[in-house]
Amino acid sequence: MLELRNISKSFGETIAVDGVSLTVARGEMVGVIGRSGSGKSTLLRLINRLAEPTSGEVLWDGEGVSRLKRRDLRKWRRRCAMIFQQFNLSPRLDVITNVLIGVVAERPLAMTLMKFFPASDRADAIRELDALDMGQTAFQRAGTLSGGQQQRVAIARAMMQKPDMILADEPVASLDPGNAEVVMKALQAAAGARGIPVLVSLHSLDLARRYCTRIVAMSKGRIIFDGSPSELSAEIVDRIYSAGANRNPAVHLAEVGAAA
Amino acid sequence: MMNQDATPLPSPLPGLALRGLLTLGGIAALIAMMVDLGISPVALAGGFTKLGVFLLAMFPPSDGGDLPRILKSLLETLAMALAGTTLAVLVAAPLGFLGARTVVGQPAFHFLFRRMLDFFRGVPVLVWALIFVAAFGLGPFGGVIALAVADIPSLSKLFAEAIENCDRGPVEGTRAAGGSRLHEIRFALAPQVAPILASQSLYYLESNFRNAAVLGIVGAGGIGFELEERIRIFAFDEVAFIVLLYMVAVALLDSLSRRLRSALA
Amino acid sequence: MTDAPDAVVSAFEAERRRLLHRQWIHALLGVGITSVILGLSFHQSQFFDPEIGANPIGRILEFLARMAPHLRTEALLEGREVDGSLASWFYDLPGWLAALWETIEIAVVATVFGAVAAVFASFLCARNLMPWAPVRFLVRRLLEAIRTVPDLIMALILVAAFGAGATAGVITLTIATLGGLGKLFAEINEEVDPRQLEMLDAAGAGPVSKIRFGVLPQVLPNYASYILLRLEINVAAAGALGIVGAGGIGLELQRAITYTEFSTYLAILLLMVLVIFVIDMTSEAIRHNLLLRAEKS
C-alpha cells in the first residue's frame, strides 16, 4: 500500500505540489487528472524519487522511502516502475536490451555493464514483449519503432521490473487513439490480473472514466477531488478545467525543466 | 501640399561621406601594412617570374626513380595521422566527459575548463611539432605527439558538446528503472555519444592526414620531408609528382572516411 | 509471466545465437584489422622504440621541467639583467611583439586579398550566376586543389620563389584563403533568393548590376562572418609560417629552438596563444553581432 503524507514540492518560488496526502491500495487504478501545471507530473516523480520532496513523506507498507540512498534507492525505483510520455527508451539499443534495463538494479554491476543477462532474464523479457505482441521486434533498435510500439516496450520494461506499483506520467499523450487504448488496456491488465496499483496521469477525462477505478483531480498542486468515476460530476469537472486562475504556467515550466 | 509634421528625410550625405572615409582609411591601412611587410612591386614581379619558372619545371611530373621511397613516406604520413588521431581521441574522450556541463555540474569548473581548451585551440600543429621534435629527437614520435596535442583542445570541446546535447529522456528512463550512474552512462549516454565521437574522430583523421604532411619540415619524417628536400634542390618535377600522388591519397582517405561515417549514422 | 509459450523463448534464443555469432565475427574482424593498422602506425611512429617510445610520460615531464622558466619570487619584478626575473624570461619582449605584429599584418593583408579573390571565384562557380558549366567545373577543381595542398608546403615553394620574408607568407595565405572562402562563398551565392535575380533580369540588368543589386545585398552579412572566421584561422596559420622562413613570429620560435632556449620558446608560445585568443574572442563577438543583425533584417 502506498501512502503519501502531506507531501510538498516547490521549485524556487513556485509551489508545484502543495501538501498532498493520498493512499493507494493494491489493485487500484488511479487516474490523476488536472490541467497542465497542476502538479500531476511532479507528484508521480516524487513517489519514484526522480524529484525530492521539499517536505512530507512517502511510505510503502508503512515504511518511509524518502531517506533511501544508493542501492536501496535504486531498488525502490525498480519496485515502482515509471512510464513516460516520451517513452524514454534508449533509441540506439535494441528492444530486448531496453527491456532488460528493468533488472539492472538487481543484478551484479559488472555483468549488466557488459550487457550480459542470465537466460532466465532473457526469457522473462521476451515473454513480456510477446504478451504485448512485440516479440517480433526484439532485435530492432527501439528508435526505429512507432510511438505506440515504443510505449509498449516501455510497459514491457516496467513489467520486467516486477514492480509493486506502476506510475505512468501521461503515457498516451503522444499516441494516436488506437495505440492509446492498447496502452491503457495493458495498464489495466497490470492492475487487474497482477494486482499492482497503478497511478496514471491523464489529459483525457474520457480515458480516465473508462479505465480507472478511482479518480484524483489536482489543481494548483492540491487534490480537489478524490473518488470513483461515477462521483465525478459535471460541476467538479468544470472546476478542474475551466477556472483560468488554476493555470500556473510557472509550475508547468518548472516540471518541464526538471524533466529535461 | 507637404505635411508640416513630416520629419524631413535625413540627408544621405553624412552617411555616404563616413563610408567613403572608412573605405579610404581601410585602403590606406592596408597599403601601410603592405609597405611595412616589405611587399614591393619589384619583389612581386621577380617572385612571380621565378614561380612561373618553377611551375613550368613541374611538367612533366616525375618520380625521380624513387617511387618506393615516396610511397613509403606517404604511408609513414598516414601512420602518423592514425597514431596522432588515436592518441588525441584517447585523451579527448575523458576530457570531453569532464567538460560537459551535464556531467560535472560545477559552473566555475566548467567555465575555466572550457576557457583552457579555447586558449590552446589556436596553436598551429607545426609550432607544437617544432618543440616536440626538439624534445624527442628527429623522427615521427615528436610529430605524432604534436598532432595529438594540437587536436586535443578542439576535439575535447566537440565531445563535451556532443554529451551536453544528448537527449536526457533515456537517462531518466534508465534511472527510473533503478539504474545507477554507470548504467545511465552505459545504456543511455554511450549509445548516443559513441557514433558522434567516432564520426568526429574520422573527421580529425582526415584533417590530420593534411597536418601530418607538413611535419617533415621540422624533421618529423613523412611526405613533408621528401617535399622539402626536393624544393631545396629545385627538383620541381618530382615535387609535382609527390603533390599529385598526395592529392590522390587525400581523396581516397576522404571518401573512405565518408563511407565509414555514413555507415555509423 | 511463466505461462507464455516456450516456443517464443526458444525461437528468440535461436535468433539471438545467430545474431551474436554474426556480431562476434564482425567484432573480431573489426578489432583485428583496426589493431593491426594502429599497431603498425604506432610502431612506425617509434612508440615501441626502446629509446624514444619508452617512458613517454617521464620524458614529457622531464621536458616540461626544461621548458619551465627560471624564476625567483624575490626577483620577479626586477630588470632584465637580474637572473630569475620575469623580464629576463621575456628578455626580448619588444622584438617578439614586433614579430607578432608582423604575423597579424600578414594575416590581415592575406585575408583581404584572399577574400576579394574568393568573391570573384565564387561568382565564377555558382550555378545560378555562371551559365557555362566548364568554367564552373574548372574553378571548383582549382579551389579543391588549393584546399588539399597544406599551406606550409605552398609556403616552402613560395619562399623559394620570393625569398625569405613576409611576401611569401602573404601570398601563401592569400591562396589558401581563396581556396577556403571561394567554396563557402559559392555555397552562399547559390542560396540567393532567385526572385530578386528574375526581377533584375526582367528589368534588363546586365551580369554586373545583377551581382551588385541582386546578390551582394543578400550575401554580404554571411560573407563578413566567414571572412572574420578565416581571419582567425589565418592569424594562427601565420604564426607557423615563420618556421619555413615566411615571416612573423615563427622565425623567433625557430630561433629559440636552434639555440635550445626552451623557456624562451614557452614565453613566445604563451604570448602567441594570448594574441590568438584575444583576436578569436573579439572576432567571435563581432560575428555573433553580425548574425543577430542578419536575423533581424
pLDDT of residue C29 exceeding 90, the answer is yes
Which residues neighbour A6 within 8 Å (Cβ) at sequence distance 6 or greater?
A19, A20, A21, A55, A56, A57
Which residue in chain B is spatially nearest to C107 when comparing CA positions? B33
Q: What is the model's pLDDT at position C53? A: 63
Unique residue bearing C-alpha cell 578565416: C230
* Chain C residues within 8 A of A96 when measuring between CB atoms: 12, 16
Residues C38, C52: Cα–Cα separation, whole Å: 18
What's the pLDDT tens digit per position in B236-264? 999 999 999 999 999 999 999 999 888 87
Query: How far is it, in rounded angstroms, from Cα C91 to Cα C81?
Result: 9
Q: How far does B213 lie from chain C, in Å, by closest CA?
A: 7
Contact A106, B180 (CB under 8 A): no
b/e sequence A138-175, b meaning 16+ C-beta within 10 Å: beebbeebebbbbbbbbbbbbbbbbbbbbbbbbbbebb
Q: Are strands A80-83 and A2-11 parallel, antiparallel or unpaired?
A: unpaired
Per-residue pLDDT of chain A (260 residues; tens, 9 = 90+): 887 777 878 787 777 778 778 888 887 888 888 877 778 888 888 888 888 888 878 888 877 777 777 888 888 888 888 988 888 888 888 899 999 998 888 888 888 888 888 888 888 888 888 888 888 888 888 888 888 889 889 988 988 888 888 888 888 888 888 888 888 888 888 777 777 888 888 887 888 888 888 888 888 878 888 877 777 777 777 777 765 444 444 554 544 444 43
CB A97 within 8 Å of CB A38:
no
Taking the C-alpha atoms of residue A9 and residue A222, their distance in angstroms, rounded to an integer, is 11
Are residues B187 and A90, on separate chains, in Cβ contact within 8 Å?
yes
Measure the CA–CA gap between C160 and A9, rounded to whole angstroms.
74
Residue of A nearest to C10 (CA): A123
Q: Does B79 touch chain C (CB under 8 A)?
A: yes
Sheet holding A14-24, edge to edge: A14-24, A2-11, A55-60, A63-64
Quick one: which of A184, A182, A199, A194 has its CA closest to A80?
A199
Contacts of B76 (CB under 8 A, 6+ apart): B140, B221, B222, B223, C44
For residue C225, what are the contacts with CB-CB under 8 A and spacing of at least 6? C287, C290, C291, C294
d(CA B88, CA A70): 35
Rounded Cα distance between C218 and C212, Å, is 10
> For residue C102, which of C224, C233, C230, C241 has the smallest C-alpha distance?
C241
Beta strands in chain A (DSSP E): 2-11, 14-24, 29-33, 55-60, 63-64, 80-83, 165-169, 198-202, 214-219, 222-227
CA C297/CA C292 separation, integer angstroms: 9
Tell me: pLDDT of B89 over 90. Answer: yes
B103 pLDDT exceeds 60? yes
Could you tell me the end-to-end alpha-carbon distance of chain A, in angstroms, rounded to an integer? 30
**B9 secondary structure, DSSP code:** P
Which three cell numbers mark A70?
544508493
Which residues of chain B make contact with C262, given a CB cutoff of 8 A? 131, 134
Exposure class string for A185-217: b at 16+ Cβ within 10 A, else e:
ebbbbbbeeeebbbbbbbbbbebbbebbbbbbb
Q: Note the pLDDT tens digit of each residue in B142-160.
A: 899 999 999 999 999 898 8
Residues 149-208 of chain B with CB under 8 A from chain C are none
> Is residue C155 a contact partner of residue C246, using CB atoms and an 8 Å limit?
yes
Chain-centroid distance of CA C228 in Å reads 13
Q: At residue C61, does pLDDT exceed 50?
A: yes
The answer, yes or no, to whether residue B168 has pLDDT greater than 60, is: yes
Residues of A in contact with B183 (CB under 8 A): 101, 104, 112-113
> Which chain C residues are within 8 Å of A135, Cβ to Cβ?
8, 12
Give the closest of B47, B124, B243 to C149, CB-based.
Answer: B243
Whether A86 contacts chain B with CB within 8 A: yes
A117 touches B: beta carbon within 8 Å: no
In terms of DSSP bridges, do strands A2-11 and A55-60 run parallel, antiparallel, or are they unpaired? antiparallel
Task: Name the A residues in 142-161 with CB < 8 Å from any C CB.
Answer: 159
Please identify among residues 133-192 of chain B the ones whose CB lies closer than 8 Å to any CB of chain A. 167-170, 172-180, 182-183, 186-188, 191-192
Continuous H helices in C149-261: 151-162, 166-190, 194-202, 207-209, 216-241, 250-258
Cell (9 digits) for A5: 503524507
CA distance C172 to C152: 8
Nearest partner of A157 among A124, A179, A202, judged by Cα: A124
Beta-carbon separation of C8 and A127 below 8 A = yes
* Predicted confidence (pLDDT) per residue in B34-43, tens digit: 888 888 888 8
The pLDDT value recorded for residue B16 is: 78
**Which residues from B are below 8 Å from A48, CB to CB?**
176
In the predicted model, what is the mean pLDDT of chain C? 85
Torsion sign, CA atoms A159, A161, A167, A171:
negative
Rounded distance between C-alpha atoms, residue B62 and residue B69, angstroms: 14
- Mean pLDDT computed over B17-40: 88
- At residue A257, the pLDDT reads 45
Q: Which helix (H) or strand (E) holds A124?
A: helix A119-131
Q: What is the pLDDT of residue B12?
A: 57
Question: Which distant-in-sequence residues (6+ apart) come within 8 Å of A100 by Cβ?
Answer: A115, A117, A121, A122, A125, A160
Q: What angle do CA C240, C242, C244 make, to 5 degrees?
A: 90
Minimum-distance CB partner of C1 among A128, A138, A139: A128
Share of chain B above pLDDT 90, in %: 35
State the sign of the Cα–Cα–Cα–Cα dihedral B234, B146, C30, C39: positive
Verify whether the Cβ–Cβ distance B179 to A154 is below 8 Å: no
Minimum-distance CB partner of B180 among A74, A84, A87: A74
| Ramachandran class of A37: left when φ > 0, alpha when ψ lies in -120 to 50, beta otherwise | left
Q: In this model, does residue C125 exceed pLDDT 80?
A: yes
The better pLDDT of the pair B201, C80 is held by B201
- Mean of the pLDDT values across residues B18-43? 88
DSSP at B7 = P
**Would you say the C-alpha torsion B8, B14, B20, B23 has a positive or negative sign?**
negative
Let me know the angle formed at the C-alpha of B201 by B197 and B207, rounded to the nearest 5 degrees. Answer: 150
> DSSP letter string over B149-192?
HHHHHHHHHHHHHHHHTS-SHHHHHHHHTT--HHHIIIIIIHHH
- Which residue, among A156, A193, A154, A146, has the nearest Cα to A170 in the 3D structure? A154
Task: Kindly give the pairing relationship between strand A29-33 and strand A198-202.
Answer: parallel
Q: Are C139 and B19 in contact (CB under 8 A)?
A: no
Backbone angles phi, psi at A16, to 5 degrees: -90, -45
Beta carbons of C4 and A130 less than 8 Å apart:
yes
Cell output for B20: 567613403
Q: What are phi and psi of A193, to 5 degrees?
A: -70, -40
